[in-house]
């Protein structure tokens, strides 16, 4: 099957409230163009230096930052980024706000939550998240719009483990959604699910899935 068929097949299987982000990391521009011909507009990259040249040739696509973002790279993506999924510190959020203010933009962001058992993954703990949302610091950030949460489950064949982790994120999302939040924070997007676990993620309430391999095939790089 080609890229176009795979996108069409995945899209046909998604509930209407779930948005597909095609994860194009390591893929050349020609393959991203192929995906765009299938009507796919949203692409996810995990490295700034890889996203920039792609964005330059394909500015009409919506670019999503899904990987760990260093503060010194924020300035390069703030002018065009559609959504930053991977905000994992207040320092990073403050830098995004500062750079966005300079060009009078409001940058949409998600807060990444650490739900996996693996230490290697980034993100806030649920307690840290609550402290930030209840804190005063966030009120000063007028140039970021926090639209929801992102999480990655443990890389494991244990489906129950994956489900448990997605369930915990969904629960946190729902609790926050019902609580009183600072005005630049809303809980509308729950970004969870990759090629091997997106079906479970959708069952557990995901509204945005990030799919690479199931669209483009195995990455060699």
Per CB under 6 A, residues contacting ligand PLP are: 23, 25, 46, 66-67, 152, 194-196, 210-214
**Three-state SS string across 44-78, please?**
EECCHHHHHHHHHHCCCCEEEECCCCCHHHHHHHC
Choice between 184 and 206, CB closer to ligand PLP: 206
Q: Find the residue with minimal CB distance to ligand PLP.
A: 212
| Residue 211 beta carbon to ligand PLP: minimum distance, rounded to whole angstroms | 5
Q: Which is nearer to ligand PLP, 46 or 206 (CB)?
A: 46
Given the complex with ligand PLP, which of 161 and 195 has the nearer CB atom?
195
Q: How far apart are CA 115 and CA 4, in angstroms?
A: 32
Q: How many CB atoms lie within 10 A of CB 123?
A: 23
Q: Least CB distance from residue 134 to ligand PLP, whole Å?
A: 27
The CA distance from 118 to 139, in Å, is: 32
Decide whether 102 or 219 has the Cβ nearer to ligand PLP: 219
CA–CA dist 27, 10 (Å, integer): 19
23 vs 116, beta carbon nearer ligand PLP:
23
Work out how close the CB of 215 gets to ligand PLP at its nearest, in angstroms, rounded to a whole number. 8
Quick one: CA torsion of 117, 93, 99, 102, rounded to 10 degrees? 160
Closest distance to ligand PLP from the beta carbon of 117 (Å)? 17
């Amino acid at each position: 099957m080609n890229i176009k068929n795979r996108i069409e097949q995945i899209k046909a299987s998604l509930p209407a409230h779930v948005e597909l982000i095609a994860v194009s990391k390591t893929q050349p521009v020609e393959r991203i163009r192929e995906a765009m011909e299938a009507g796919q507009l949203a692409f996810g990259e995990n490295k700034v230096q890889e996203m920039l040249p792609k964005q330059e040739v394909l500015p009409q696509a919506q670019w999503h930052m899904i990987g760990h973002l260093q503060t010194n790279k924020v300035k390069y993506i703030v002018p065009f980024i559609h959504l930053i999924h991977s905000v994992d510190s207040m320092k990073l959020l403050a830098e995004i706000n500062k750079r966005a203010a300079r060009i009078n933009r409001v940058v949409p962001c998600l807060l990444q939550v650490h739900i996996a058992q693996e230490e290697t993954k980034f993100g806030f703990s649920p307690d840290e998240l609550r402290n930030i949302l209840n804190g005063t610091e966030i009120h000063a950030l007028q140039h970021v719009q926090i639209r929801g949460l992102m999480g990655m489950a443990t890389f494991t064949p244990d489906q129950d483990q994956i489900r448990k982790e997605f369930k915990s994120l969904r629960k946190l999302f729902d609790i926050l959604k019902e609580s009183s939040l600072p005005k630049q924070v809303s809980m509308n997007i729950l970004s969870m699910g990759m090629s091997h676990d997106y079906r479970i993620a959708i069952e557990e309430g995901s509204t945005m899935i990030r799919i690479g391999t199931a669209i483009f095939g195995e990455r060699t790089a």
